[in-house]
Structure 1
Amino acid sequence: MDKAPAGIRFKATLQRPAQPKGASWRFLVLPAAASARLPTRGMVTVDGTLEGQPFQATLEPDGKGSHWLKVEKKLREAAGVDAGDTVALEVAPVAREPEPKVPADLRRALSAHPAALATWKDITAVARRDWIHWITSGKKAETRARRIATACDKLASGMRRACCFDRSGMYSQGNMGAPEAAA
């Protein structure tokens, strides 16, 4: 990315997450007016600048109708900001969603199910991201394993989208949302 995208400009306060303790990353919640200008209440990848420093990231739903951004240490340090600072951002949705990183356990399961793998290869990057997010949003290892098996069965039968998955986090029972800020 060579230049700042024309897009949505706003300011937000950088916060330190309460968990995990000692995290090197920070986060911010987009103002409602900025979030409303995005094309979806679900995850959306953007090109942007934070205090003039370019980045690409996937904004996640905060479960309250807005989005939040994880700010990695490298970007934070390049911008010269930290928790408590009000930062200026400009973001614009990318023209084409990037391929999501497929977790190793899901990759192994798909490799063992040729019909599921065929559907996986035929769906969009956004659909693959939704399947991954649905699988990884389970809190317990048993839930994740069960969701991988279910995803493989559903993909093998031709289902292309993670059914009944609340992409916005607004109707979920607390498994999606912005991190809690440290005191």
Structure 2
Amino acid sequence: MAKLTAPIKFKAKLSRPLTPKGAAWTFVVLPAAASKKLPTRSMVTVDGILEGQPFQATLEPDGQGSHWFKLEKAVREAAGVAAGDTIALEIAPVAEEPEPKVPADLKQALAANAAAKATWAEITPVARRDWIHWITSGKKAETRVKRIDVACDKLACGNRRACCFDRSGMYSKGNMGAPEAAE
């Protein structure tokens, strides 16, 4: 990973989620001032540095106009930080968004629908990530199945974006947001 260009520097608390009880992962909520320097209120992938340790993370909207992200265990351990610590970070948006991981059920549905698969192949990684997020943000299993069907139908018709999807989380009535901190 190269040196960050025009890094956004800030300090934030490293937190552990309240639920599920005993969760081992940690997360960071960006201060509003740092988040405002990003190019979008929606998901954005950044390269970062924490205590000399480079990392890459996809920041998620917190529904309040800011962002949050999970800090990978390997980075946390290499940096020698723990939940409860205030950490100094430098981040910068990546030049090109990485490809999202496609869930197996969506991958299977796309494989069975040539027209949907063709549109999927033509859209940007950000658009693919939005479709995946819309599909996986449903609370119930049947909602996910329905959304996969709808996505494949829309993609087969040439629709490139998930319609009516609030990428910032500000109007989603609780569908997006940072976890509640245990500490």
How far, CA to CA, are the matches of 2:22 and 2:53 in structure 1? 24
Give deviations 1:120-175, integer Å, cap 9, x for gaps. 00000000000000001111101100100000000000000001100000000211
How far, CA to CA, are the matches of 1:131 and 1:70 in structure 2? 21
Residue 101 of structure 1 pairs with residue 104 of structure 2: no
Paired residue type of 2:91: V
Give deviations 1:20-67, integer Å, cap 9, x for gaps. 222221011101010000000000000011122100010000000000
How much identity, in percent, do the aligned residues show? Answer: 77
The equivalent residue for 2:27 is: 27
Structure 1: unaligned runs, 5 residues or longer: none
The equivalent residue for 2:148 is: 148
Q: For residue 55 of structure 2, give the secondary structure of its aligned residue in structure 1.
A: strand
Is the 1:51–1:88 contact (alpha carbons within 8 Å) kept by the matching residues of 2? yes
Q: For residue 34 of structure 1, give the secondary structure of its aligned residue in structure 2.
A: helix
The equivalent residue for 2:65 is: 65
How far, CA to CA, are the matches of 1:124 and 1:4 in structure 2? 24
Give deviations 1:4-27, integer Å, cap 9, x for gaps. 444100000011101222222101
Normalising to structure 2: TM-score of the pair? 0.97
How far, CA to CA, are the matches of 2:122 and 2:149 in structure 1? 19
Paired residue type of 2:142: E
Paired residue type of 1:100: P
- Equivalence map 1:129-148=2 (5 Å): 129-148=129-148
The equivalent residue for 1:178 is: 178
RMSD: 1.0
Is the 1:26–1:83 contact (alpha carbons within 8 Å) kept by the matching residues of 2? yes
